[in-house]
Structure 1
């Protein structure tokens, strides 16, 4: 998939966290479809959220056009054959409405004491997964060969890499159908990420622009701008855990260094966390879309104006004490922002 066709507006996706019952999550996906979102990205962190593939199926059953995706999963906690069967089953349920987002793992692995997946492991996993989804056989451990016996036709499920650093972004350019950039919203940060993506594509002999670009963006909207900034701070903190402090200067660099020392991974799926107070407003502005309705419109328009961006995935505050209900977040955005874009 490439960038949006000339003149087309980038789509809007919504991140949904399974910290509420799956029926609630699916109802929010249906509401997002009604509001005008084109996709829902469901978090996979097995101790912090409900099971992701069950959640995706529930969302598909409650919607008719909305695309759904893992946002994101990783290869360490599920066998390749299990992921392939799950993806093919979802694609059978709703052809053309399923995507897979993969990363090297953060909360889903840290909470069970496992290290992040190596990038080369993810690349090999991607190749084998594509072969299985195409109806081909692969060689598993100990030389055992296998394929999906019930698959009657190829299940073309796009694979997106979540990328926060140069190596992973270049890998997405070389191996993925799409990239999910968790690297900020400031124009210079987005431009740097796209340059890394193009380097990876060119090294692999792929044309520049052949990989669909989604920007994963912490998001908060409120008539009170201060409340909007404070509500999104925990999500920005999660994004900054993947950033290199040396990319920043002064107080911003010091804040990221301190955050990496104090980040409580058990609070990764919390509505608010003590470590969020470390994040200064300047980094919130560089990494998030946050403010009142008018400010949110302007920030969305600015990011959408980048001709390489195909999708903006809004990641709101997670449900919990002090957080706005997700259905309200969706309605407020759908009523005060979407009609004016």
Structure 2
């Protein structure tokens, strides 16, 4: 299985990209959450100029953040800086929208956005719609300004069959956050394969596009506790992201919160109390998301429940982790992406060693 890394945009991100490339990682991704982190396209531009081999990904953008022409221009411009090394991740904007206090877009809007981006980034004219007005659009500048000759890899963010079906119809890869269940991955791949049948992307005629899983990694030291402070610090950002999602969506997506057990629901309640907000407060996004996907505060370690650590992250000895990763590889996951928040350089090196 290949290895990659996802980081939050901050000054010096290109230095991490250089280190990732030297470490032998296959890909380097940045989050696209405008009001939480720095600009993803600015960051990858710096990374493109500083590296020569590693693939560079946006994980993920959304039609709720940018128009298709603007996004296509950004990706084709990156492709001019790093020809053939760009990965375009697309989702409904679940995190990036909710951090604005808004709801994500629909799967159908995501699919239309994906199709438009694929066409524009390949240099084709596509139908572009705003309300009732429809026009054919294409890149009007040529030469070295954008690169539509080298392919851009597209991946769709998916946790369920509807988004996976978009990947099948559009011939894209898949990326999923914290999904470490091989059975769930087989279901996603089945949904993608079924949706591709009868299209030009039928996987019976061409290889299936790549799949990526995003998680956190902590390799236990000798005699280290499985759910000790070090493990909680390394994986806590993923756990808190799920708890924040449950707290934020309790009023509009109650089915998700209903799937949580009593201990997890109590952790959601404590999180809301600790941040001085409620599930229905109109400004809850300003209280729940500061520091999102960053290193957790020591006082929040009690919220990092072992059940959620085990579900979302990889914690264990090297042998334990290799045994857990093998079924994911067998289920069709091509690349393991980690989100390091403690010591990214060391964590990247450990990932490479683990998978070698």
Please tell me the TM-score bracket, short chain as reference: 0.7 to 0.9
Match of 1:331 among 327, 332, 349: 349
Q: Which residue of 2 aligns with 1:291?
A: 316
**CA 1:137–1:188 in 2, change beyond 3 Å: closer, same or farther?**
closer
Aligned length: 319
1:44-123, aligned counterparts within 5 Å?
Answer: 44-123=32-111
1:316-327, aligned counterparts within 5 Å?
Answer: 316-317=340-341, 324-327=342-345
Q: Which residue of 2 aligns with 1:230?
A: 232
Q: Which residue of 2 aligns with 1:7?
A: none
Deviation at 1:44, TM superposition (A): 0.6
Q: Which residue of 1 aligns with 2:335?
A: 311
CA distance in 2 between partners of 1:84 and 1:49 (Å): 21
Kindly indicate whether the alpha-carbon contact (under 8 Å) linking 2:216 and 2:238 is maintained by their aligned counterparts in 1. yes
SS class of match (1:12): strand
CA distance in 1 between partners of 2:99 and 2:117 (Å): 25
1:29-48, aligned counterparts within 5 Å?
Answer: 29-48=17-36
Kindly indicate whether the alpha-carbon contact (under 8 Å) linking 1:173 and 1:211 is maintained by their aligned counterparts in 2. no
Match of 1:26 among 14, 20, 23: 14
Q: Which residue of 1 aligns with 2:276?
A: none
1:232-247, aligned counterparts within 5 Å?
Answer: 232-239=235-242, 241=245, 245=256
**Further displaced range: 122-131 or 62-71:** 122-131
SS class of match (2:38): coil
1:94-173, aligned counterparts within 5 Å?
Answer: 94-140=82-128, 141=130, 142-151=133-142, 153-173=148-168
Deviation at 1:252, TM superposition (A): 7.0
- RMSD of the alignment, in Å? 3.1
Kindly indicate whether the alpha-carbon contact (under 8 Å) linking 1:228 and 1:290 is maintained by their aligned counterparts in 2. no
Deviation at 1:176, TM superposition (A): 4.3
TM normalised by structure 1 equals: 0.81
**CA 1:278–1:227 in 2, change beyond 3 Å: closer, same or farther?**
closer
**CA 1:111–1:186 in 2, change beyond 3 Å: closer, same or farther?**
closer
Q: Which residue of 2 aligns with 1:320?
A: none
Deviation at 1:278, TM superposition (A): 4.0
CA distance in 1 between partners of 2:35 and 2:156 (Å): 22
Deviation at 1:179, TM superposition (A): 0.5
TM normalised by structure 2 equals: 0.78
**CA 1:179–1:333 in 2, change beyond 3 Å: closer, same or farther?**
closer
Kindly indicate whether the alpha-carbon contact (under 8 Å) linking 1:233 and 1:277 is maintained by their aligned counterparts in 2. no
CA distance in 2 between partners of 1:188 and 1:257 (Å): 27
Kindly indicate whether the alpha-carbon contact (under 8 Å) linking 2:3 and 2:351 is maintained by their aligned counterparts in 1. no
Deviation at 1:126, TM superposition (A): 1.2
SS class of match (2:202): coil
Kindly indicate whether the alpha-carbon contact (under 8 Å) linking 2:236 and 2:295 is maintained by their aligned counterparts in 1. no
Counterpart check, 1:186 vs 2:181? yes
Match of 2:202 among 206, 209, 216: 206
Gaps of at least 5 residues in structure 1 are 1-9, 318-323
The superposition leaves residues 243-297 of structure 1 with CA deviations (integer Å, 9 ceiling, x where unpaired) of: 9648957447746975795992334233116777445312322321123444444
Kindly indicate whether the alpha-carbon contact (under 8 Å) linking 2:174 and 2:211 is maintained by their aligned counterparts in 1. yes
The superposition leaves residues 55-78 of structure 1 with CA deviations (integer Å, 9 ceiling, x where unpaired) of: 111111121110001011112222
Which of structures 1 and 2 has the bigger CA Rg?
Answer: 2
